[in-house]
Amino acid sequence: MNDNSALYAFNKFGDMILRAAFAMTGSYPEAEDITQEVFLTLHSKPQDFESDEHMKAWLLRTAINRCKNLRKSARIRRDTPLNEALANTLSCEFTPRDNEIRERIAKLPERYSSVIFLYYYEEYNIREIALILGKSENTVSSLLQRGRKKLKTELEKEGYVYET
């Protein structure tokens, strides 16, 4: 690891952090805000990372903590679809199905969505997730199990089939 700078971190992990924040908030603008905060924090308060993996874990944890704080604000948050203006900036298309999934993700409590993202998308194992989130392996395992159940319940309410 030669470079601990925020710019290096952003170039290497920017998309990943944006994705993590999106997986927890279900909102692109919020994900962008959180990503911005995370890297500007690192820019302002440089950290001494031992490796890229260490850097990645720190970024993920910081992003997840921010998502957590955001969600615990208990404000009424509006579930906006990806609007046209934003979608245009992303150079990709979001299908109606994408929006349905996004809405379900947004409704999933943070404690579940973070674990689901890290496990299924980033493919961390339970032990690694436990280290990132500062929770016990048992807790992570339990959250994963409950999160899947909850997602399944939510989707079934809407008439979808959840396949593991």
Partner 1 sequence: MRPNEYDNLLKKIKCSDDFRSRMQEKLSAEPSGDAGYEEIVSGEAEVITPGRRWGKFAALAAAFVIIGGAAGGTAYHFSKVNSESKIVTTDDGSIYSALRSEKDDHYMMIGGAHGTENAANLVLCNSASEFFDYMDDHGDKEEIREESAVLGSECIYFRFGRMDQGIDFSYQLPDLTMDQSADYICQIYNNGTYVWSDMSASRVTYHRLKNGEEGYNDLRAMLMKYTIDWAVNSPDANEGLRSLLDEKFNHIDSDYAYYMSGSSDGPVEYKIVNFNTLKADLLKFDWVYPGFVPMTDAVYMLSALNGSEGNYETSCLYISRNGIIRIENGDIMRTCFALENDSDVEAFREILDEHFVLNQYGTDVQDYIILDAFNENYDGKTAKFRKDSGQFTGDTDVTVSDFEGLKNELASLEWVTCEVSDENIYKDFYIAGALISRNGYIYPQSGGTHQCAYRLKFDSSLNRFREILDAHFTENSEETTIYSRLKVDKESYTVDLSDDIKKKDIDKDRLFEYLDNYDMSSEIGTGEFSPSDKKITVFFRKIGEADKEYSYVGANEKYAYKLVIYDTGAFTWTENNNGKENLTMHSFADDGKVYQDILDMFAE
94-113 positions binding partner 1, by CB under 8 A: 94, 97-98, 101-102, 104
Using CB under 8 A, pick the residue from 2, 48, 51, 75 that binds partner 1.
Answer: 75
Between 69 and 125, whose beta carbon lies closer to partner 1? 69
Q: What is the rounded distance in angstroms from the CA atom of residue 97 to the CA atom of residue 43?
A: 37
Per-position x/- string for 13-52, each x denoting binding to partner 1 as judged by CB under 8 A, each - no binding = -xx--xx--xx---xxxxxxxxxxx-xxx-xxx-------
Minimal distance in Å, beta carbon 45 to partner 1? 6
Alpha helices in the chain (DSSP H): 6-25, 28-44, 52-71, 84-89, 96-107, 110-116, 126-133, 137-157
Instruction: DSSP for 72-112, please give it.
Output: TT----------HHHHHHTTS---HHHHHHHHHHHHS-HHH
Comparing CA positions, the residue from 138, 94, 144, 91 lying closest to residue 115 is 144
Pick one of 2, 48, 50, 89: the residue that binds partner 1 (CB under 8 A). Answer: 89
Tell me which residues in 129-148 interact with partner 1 (CB under 8 A). 136-139, 141-142, 145-146
150 contacts partner 1 (rule: CB under 8 A): yes
Shortest distance, position 62 Cβ to partner 1, whole Å: 7
